[in-house]
Amino acid sequence: MKLLIISGTPKNDGITHSFVKVAVDTAIELGVEVEMVKLSSLNLTKCMMCDDGWGICFNQHRCLYGDTDGFNELQTKVDNADAFVYVSPVYWGEISEDFKIFLDKLRRCQATKQWNSDEKEVSFMIGKPSIMVAVAGGGGGGIVSTFADIERALTHMGGDAWPRERAGVFDYIAVNRWNQAYKRDTMKAAVTAMVSFLTRPKAVKVMPQTDYQLLITFDNGNEQLFDVKPYLAQDPFAELKDVVLFNKARISGTKVEWRPRLDIDVNELCYSD
């Protein structure tokens, strides 16, 4: 897997950059391919709202100026990434100016894919988890609104579609001058957890067995047998006592599903310890 870290701070030191460094170092320790993009080094041009407000971003899903300012290359990096860490200082209760330019341009190129006639061309963000870090170095305020800036853009691009199944926003890490020390530990733990989730074997097939058991096959070829009986004593899983319904089990994303909202996360079955 590849982790892409987007840094919205212009500094090469300080609190915000220290969280970028923790994310990079943790990924390296885990043996994960990682790349850090420092937005201030790209000199991205703000969205020019070409033509009548929508340029080639609407149909071609790239920026007219992106070859010269580096945005189109950056968007390719987004496409190739499996997960993201977004780190921004809090400026005036918002993301940094560089971060805003990046999200504005990316949103115009990716969110517009939902209106394509080609259903196979979908947003690069769908199904990919992200960790959001907002660092308020002054009085500590503005963190919530900064998170809202990033999450709103992800929502528009389909990056937090429900059910999330741990895609979309994997974690929020709020940092100020007083909690920065232990929040670095949180940063390390969050990256580790997200990488662990993404690199676990994925269920590809389920076969109901007798006595309310499921035989699940994973993409690495392993098979495991799981007992569902402990679930049957509680709603809505009591419905599964109906063998006909139980035998309709199927894999849906990271879940074993029988009908909408009647499902069990495979990771809960496999890693409940």
DSSP, res 138: S
Same domain, 102 and 37: yes
Same domain, 177 and 227: no
**pLDDT of the residue at 272:** 46
What is the C-alpha to C-alpha distance for residues 94 and 100, in angstroms, rounded to an integer?
9
Token pair of 25 as six digits: 């170092």
Same domain, 45 and 151: yes
Tens-digit pLDDT profile for residues 109-119: 999 999 888 87
Same domain, 218 and 177: no
**pLDDT of the residue at 200:** 87
Same domain, 36 and 87: yes
What is the C-alpha to C-alpha distance for residues 185 and 221, in angstroms, rounded to an integer?
35
**pLDDT of the residue at 273:** 42
Tens-digit pLDDT profile for residues 92-101: 999 999 999 9
What is the C-alpha to C-alpha distance for residues 41 and 93, in angstroms, rounded to an integer?
23
Backbone angles phi, psi at 155, to 5 degrees: -60, -45
Which helix H or strand E contains 251, and what residues bound it? strand 250-252
Tens-digit pLDDT profile for residues 35-71: 999 999 999 999 999 998 899 999 999 999 999 999 9
CATH of the domain at 142: 3.40.50.360
Can you give the residue range of the structural domain that contains 247?
Answer: 203-270
Last residue of a domain, one of 168, 199, 230: 199
Last residue of a domain, one of 156, 173, 199: 199
| Residues 6 or more apart whose Cβ sits within 8 Å of residue 57 | 50, 63, 64, 105, 108, 109, 112
What is the C-alpha to C-alpha distance for residues 77 and 72, in angstroms, rounded to an integer?
9
**pLDDT of the residue at 255:** 87
DSSP structure string for 28-43: HHTT-EEEEEEGGGTT
Give the residue from 228, 221, 219 showing the smallest Cα distance to 201. 219
Same domain, 231 and 145: no
Q: How many CB atoms lie within 10 A of CB 183?
A: 21
How many separate domains does the chain show?
Answer: 2
CATH of the domain at 254: 3.30.2020.10
Q: Alpha helices of the chain — where are they, by DSSP H?
A: 14-29, 56-59, 66-69, 71-80, 97-110, 143-156, 180-199, 243-246, 266-270
Residues in the chain with pLDDT values less than 70? 160-167, 270-273
Same domain, 13 and 73: yes
Last residue of a domain, one of 182, 199, 216: 199
Residue with tokens 């503005």, as numbered in its chain: 142
Same domain, 175 and 225: no
Give the residue from 129, 197, 207 showing the smallest Cα distance to 168. 129
Same domain, 266 and 171: no
Note the pTM of the prediction, 2 decimals: 0.83
Q: Which long-range contacts (CB under 8 A, 24 or more apart) does 205-209 make?
A: 205/251, 206/249, 206/250, 206/251, 206/256, 208/246, 208/247, 208/249
Same domain, 103 and 176: yes
Same domain, 186 and 161: yes
Backbone angles phi, psi at 261, to 5 degrees: 70, 10
Quick check: helix, strand or coil at residue 85?
strand
What is the C-alpha to C-alpha distance for residues 10 and 33, in angstroms, rounded to an integer?
24
What is the C-alpha to C-alpha distance for residues 114 and 123, in angstroms, rounded to an integer?
8
Quick check: helix, strand or coil at residue 171?
strand
CA angle 153, 122, 66 (to 5 degrees): 65
Same domain, 252 and 165: no
Give the residue from 201, 207, 212, 211 showing the smallest Cα distance to 251. 207
